Amino acid sequence: MSSIMVASPNIRWIAIALAACLVPLLGVLATPSVAQRTAAERTDAAYGAAFESWAAGSGVKGGIVVVNRNRNTVHESTVGGADPTSSVLLGSLSKAITATCIAKLIEEHRLAWSTPLKDALARHLEAYGPPADPRALTITVEQLVVHRAGFSSRPKEALLEMTLGSFLERNTSRDTHFGPLLAATLRHPLVALPGKQFAYSNAGYLALGTIIEEATNESYERACHSRVLAPLGVQSATLDPSWRVLSSYGGWSMSGADYLRFFEIFAPNRQLLGRETRAWIADETAKRMNPQRKHWYALGVRIDPVAGGRLIVSHTGSWSWRQPIAKDGALSASTGAFAIRYADGTSLFTAFWPIPRDPVERRMAYEKLADGLRETHQRLQAGLSGP
């Protein structure tokens, strides 16, 4: 089995070396195509140029970039003839939807951040039996959301590397399978005491999806639609028909514009989330991803603080899977995504394919992408057309 869902929020800060910028004098003598590019680099089209440049050097054959400001789409562009309005598999960008639904259930008093697994999954445990590691019963909802549950991470992630391949030999990828898939995952022992350390893991978000179904008596998809997506005007969202098994940790599919509508929940003046939830997001306590760094993980996203108490919110997503023998026949996927909301309110969504299979190469490619978009953003903020 070879897999890797990637969405490491460590967010391996992703970026690209930008398209070369021309000095203003060149615009006088330039050919029309060069002149147009110079003008574009002073506008939101510069994000598209940066993405295109990164894609050309990263083996990407197709992709989209969408830019949002003040809740309006201000730029869309594509690579390889992709449709910028089409739905794309989000991979781990799905985690923010799951975590937001959990936050809404806490606001409804159906759950608390401190609710332990033994209570949040009482019916599941009755049906499938206890986990192999008794410590798992003490994992709290908050520890699941911020990746401090004690599950193993790559390269021996409890769900992807140790469970999913053999599961898909017997079960379709086109259904969520929350109960049996979580039960199979919980047969593996924890690698750390719950709450002790950050370790990015998809298993925790599979557990959160199961908790949502148990707390609401609804399907995970319906619960997220009614509490999170529909109130924000998101219309294209659905669990990807071919990869519903990724569900709460990576299975959502929607358009880039719709994902940025959802991402506006992190705007300071957006009211979908209550005051206490917004304060929880902004509080780094017990959420640090690395004790030596200032960023933290909250509500399915990485948080980077900047001057004035403002926040940059981001996450990567990817799904790289190749399994020749499976219930549905040979399975293959290779797609990535990245979303970021800068402190000034500009937000970007990118999706692209294929992605490098090697995790190190993938991380480096994502870092180049994020850096290039950040450099473009800083240049546009400064009103400059060149470095």
Structural domain boundaries of the chain?
2-381
pLDDT at position 30, please?
33
Give dist(CA 335, CA 321) in Å, integer.
Answer: 9
Q: Are 313 and 263 in contact (CB under 8 A)?
A: yes
Q: Write the CA distances from 319 to 3, 75, 144, 193, integer angstroms.
A: 8, 26, 21, 28
Q: Which two tokens stand for residue 257?
A: 């514009």
What is the C-alpha to C-alpha distance for residues 314 and 343, in angstroms, rounded to an integer?
11
CATH code, 2-381: 3.40.710.10
Regions of the chain short of the pLDDT cut 50: 1-38, 40, 385-387
Instruction: Please tell me the predicted confidence (pLDDT) of residue 29.
Output: 27
- Joined tokens for residue 311: 């926040």
Let me know: does 250 contact 208? Beta carbons within 8 Å.
Answer: no
Say if pTM beats, i.e. exceeds, 0.75. Answer: yes
Query: 318, 160 in Cβ contact below 8 A?
Result: no
- In terms of C-beta density within 10 A (0-12 exposed, 13-18 middle, 19 or more buried), how is residue 219 classed? middle
Angle, CA of 114, 266 and 308, to the nearest 5°: 100
Q: What is the pLDDT of residue 156?
A: 87
Query: What torsion do the CA atoms of 326, 328, 332, 334 make, to the nearest 10 degrees?
Result: -120
Q: What is the pLDDT of residue 154?
A: 84
